[in-house]
Amino acid sequence: MDKHISEKVNCLIIGSGPAGYTAAIYASRANLKPVLYQGIQPGGQLTITTEVENYPGYPEGIQGPEMMVHFEKQATRMGADIRYGIATAVDFSSHPHKIQIDEEKWIEANAVIISTGASAKWLGLPSEQRLNGFGVSACAVCDGFFFKGKEVAIVGAGDTAAEEALYLSKLCTTVHMIVRKGQMRASKVMADRVLATSNIKVYWHSETDDILGENKVEAVSIKNNQTGELTTIPVSAFFVAIGHQPNSDIFKPFIDMDETGYIQTIPGTSKTNVEGVFAAGDVQDKHYRQAVTAAGSGCMAALDAERYLGEKGFH
């Protein structure tokens, strides 16, 4: 790989959700002259969320895409250099760090903040994409509130699916839970809790055949894997809880991760195993995955980067 360096920057931020933009705000104010590349989905997962009601400071709630526009404007006003482009490769084997953008240009950076986020895994049904934001959601904690007192469906069998089903059971009249096998992948304590909840109805050996509805979710068609029988259940929302995939592949040769690809940071910090490389937001957080926690970790990453650059004498 010819690494002809075409630009040198002090602080490079990769990714543009709440973590990346918050890091850019703090880094700009600390005069680190940050350059931020927005990545494949400028604004991150919030751009596919409609109403956000749980972010502090917005008493009336706000649309996810609008909120990300606010974050971006604030970062730009502070002096962040925000650009379109995707990081396609990195070389963290020596300092300064080298990052390839759009498979062509190489940048050198004294400090790197990785905030590439995670992407929800989907079932791959055309109706799921068509109704995404109109009753189809990959986050029960974000969107469950809008379906208070209604019947909903959730697909998944792990701890996240169990947690989200239990969360929904407190808000919704009935939660129809679709599980592909004859048992759950969730830990025994979580599975037992689900089975002990009277308004969660589990459909074993089942998968989603289709999500029905013209402009909003109206029903789900469930297929029994053993009998082939189809059942249609009227629901107002359909939650997909089959996991998230951290967007971390390009960092794998250099950065320590867990078995599913979440970047491991030194507890209580945003530091990775590579000096001068920091990680914030959902790419390193598989537990909370909220806008407010991502923003908080973006602040941590910028402060950690500022301290690092100061100690090393970079300006």
> Which residues are catalytic, by number?
139, 142-143
Neighbour-count burial of 116, counting CB atoms closer than 10 A to its CB (0-12 exposed, 13-18 middle, 19+ buried): buried
**CA–CA dist 183, 268 (Å, integer):** 36
**CA–CA dist 34, 199 (Å, integer):** 50
**CA–CA dist 211, 229 (Å, integer):** 16
Check: CB of residue 44 under 8 Å from CB of residue 18.
yes
**CA–CA dist 89, 233 (Å, integer):** 46
User: Does the N-terminal peptide bond of residue 96 adopt cis geometry, omega within 30 degrees of 0?
Assistant: yes
What residues contact 307, with CB distance under 8 A and at least 6 apart? Answer: none
Check: CB of residue 176 under 8 Å from CB of residue 220.
yes
- The first and second tokens of residue 127, run together, are 């109706």
